[in-house]
Amino acid sequence: MDMGRFLIETHLRTGKPIKELARDHGVSPSWLFKLLPRYRLEGPAGLEPRSRRPKSSPSRIADLYEDEIVTLRKELADAGFDALRRRGCG
């Protein structure tokens, strides 16, 4: 049993305050306060680690445009118009 599940179940079973459990076990109270509603809603499955990756990246360039940019940069570099060399970076 992992620490989060142990502490949440201890809180629910004994009524011991979250802050006290967190202090006694060296974990963040905010972490336990975040786990508690997930446990109540989903049970033990709610305590499984979740990805922190965003669902979307609004500023990401579409693959179509990315491929075009790479092609254009290669063409410019082959023609001697390498922007990095002109600035003295390469």
Per-residue pLDDT in tens (0 to 9) along the chain, 90 residues? 599 999 999 999 999 999 999 999 999 999 999 999 999 999 999 988 888 888 888 787 777 788 888 899 899 888 888 766 555 554
The pLDDT value given to residue 55: 83
Q: Give the separation between CA 10 and CA 1, rounded to whole angstroms.
A: 12
Query: Would you list the domain boundaries of the chain?
Result: 3-47, 59-90
Residue 24, SS3 per DSSP: helix
The pLDDT value given to residue 89: 54
Tell me how long the chain is: 90
The pLDDT value given to residue 86: 53
* 4 and 32 Cβ atoms separated by less than 8 Å: yes
Q: Give the separation between CA 20 and CA 40, rounded to whole angstroms.
A: 20
The pLDDT value given to residue 26: 96
